[in-house]
Structure 1
Amino acid sequence: MAIFGITGRFIYFAIPLTGFFIGKFLDDQETLRMTSFRDKSCLYGGNVKEGDPPSWP
């Protein structure tokens, strides 16, 4: 039975795709947050000179 045109087949695709996009958004936000700590670790920081690209994008 379709309620407002939403069938079971739609639900089987919509829920996993929604979860994927929410997860991707959260992962992108975490990567963006972690860029503020880029090359600042005492253990992994190394010697980065001015103008050199960061060690990871």
Structure 2
Amino acid sequence: AQRLTNAPTLKDIPGTLFLAGGAPVTTKGAPIAAIGVAGAPSGDLDEKFAQAGVASLGR
């Protein structure tokens, strides 16, 4: 457990920035695209709207 606290994670990849607001689009369990939303007052709302967009694709 101690080693895990010092292990690199995805956030440590140079040139990357992880923020809320994205939702994957999948088919048959495999990712094929994504929807990203920005501009709502919070990342939680951005993500909620992105997930609503993905859900609307299945209609």
TM-score normalised to structure 1 length: 0.26
The structure that has the greater radius of gyration is 1
Flag the structure with higher helix content: 1
Normalising by structure 2, we get a TM-score of 0.26
Q: RCO (CA 8 Å, sep 6+): is it higher in 1 or 2?
A: 2
Judging by fraction of residues, say which structure has more strand.
Answer: 2
